[in-house]
Structure 1
Amino acid sequence: MKELYTSEMQNKRVTYSNILQIDDDSDDCELFMEALEAVSAANYTAIYDPVEALRKLMQKEINPDVIFLDLNMPIMSGLEFLTEIKKEKELKEIPIIVFSTSQLDDIIREAKLYGAHDFISKPNNFNDLKRILSQYTFSV
């Protein structure tokens, strides 16, 4: 298995094999899953509701290595989710990568201030998404 470097953690070899995506857009999740399957053998779970995701994490129903988190969601925003998960002793160390259409510097700074490990703007094409995901996961 090949280990790759992430953009934020340059000197640490970081790859993930158990991925949780929290995004209210099922089409985005399907595209993410297809790109992930093309580049990785990682386990993948999608949850469309951040409140449900937080509950499942707190009750240890799921145990991801990393969370890819959308920011713009109804009921609980990505930033609100970040705030809540960082309060939980057993969950706060899970790396969270914000995966959002937002590209504003203020939003990126705010997400990192709330505890995000990295910020990725959702790419416009499938090959770019595969390239991005290959940086975070074990290769097939």
Structure 2
Amino acid sequence: MNKKHYNILLADDDDDDCSFFREAIDELKLPVTLVTVHDGVQLMDYLKANSPGALPDILFLDLNMPRKNGHECLKEIKELSEFDTLPVIIFSTSLDIEIVDLMYQKGATHYIRKPGEFAKLKTVINNALTTTVENNLKQPAREQFVLQP
């Protein structure tokens, strides 16, 4: 990574997934600050409250959340000009190819299927951060959109 420190926002309603994500970041000893929100309404409120000066560097977004799901959040994020440069990494239990294609078309930066093993979670988080930074926070070609552990 070419920046000294990254601010990551994780939007996920599953407490266990949030804990594992935090543990993975801690074990990787990555230079990041992690903030979590637990539904789409909290996510959009957080982004709007911190716009434009203190937006996260990268957003990891779960698709299945209460009150406002990840599909709705991604659509809203991409429609608001103050968030148009925010990299959004979809972080979901599903790997339905139609949903993956839709998320790519809607402008997500990457798509990750949540791995069931902690070691793979660490690998895929590290790969996501590295790849996103190497691509200057831009969406890659479709072939590189889905990240595997």
In the superposition, the TM-score normalised over structure 2's length comes to: 0.78
For 2:125, the aligned partner's letter is L
Please state if 1:134 is matched with 2:126: yes
Offset, 1:15: 9.4
Offset, 1:14: 8.8
Please state if 1:26 is matched with 2:15: yes
Aligned partners of 2:67, 2:111: CA distance in 1, in Å? 22
**Structure 1: gaps of 5 or more residues:** 4-12
Moved over 6 A (4+): 13-16
For 2:112, the aligned partner's letter is I
1:119 is paired with a residue whose SS is strand
Of 60, 65, 70, which residue of structure 2 is paired with 1:78? 70
Match in the other structure for 1:104: 96
Match in the other structure for 2:140: none
The Cα RMSD (Å) is 2.0
Match in the other structure for 1:38: 27
> More helix per residue: 1 or 2?
2
Are the counterparts in 2 of residues 18 and 42 from structure 1 also a CA contact under 8 Å? yes
Offset, 1:55: 1.3
Assess, with a 3 A threshold, how the Cα gap between structure 1 residues 122 and 15 changes in structure 2: closer, same or farther: farther
Matches within 5 A, 1:107-118: 107-118=99-110
Match in the other structure for 1:9: none
Higher RCO (CA-CA < 8 Å; seq separation 6+): 1
For 2:21, the aligned partner's letter is F
Aligned partners of 2:129, 2:4: CA distance in 1, in Å? 5
Are the counterparts in 2 of residues 18 and 66 from structure 1 also a CA contact under 8 Å? yes
Aligned partners of 1:112, 1:15: CA distance in 2, in Å? 29
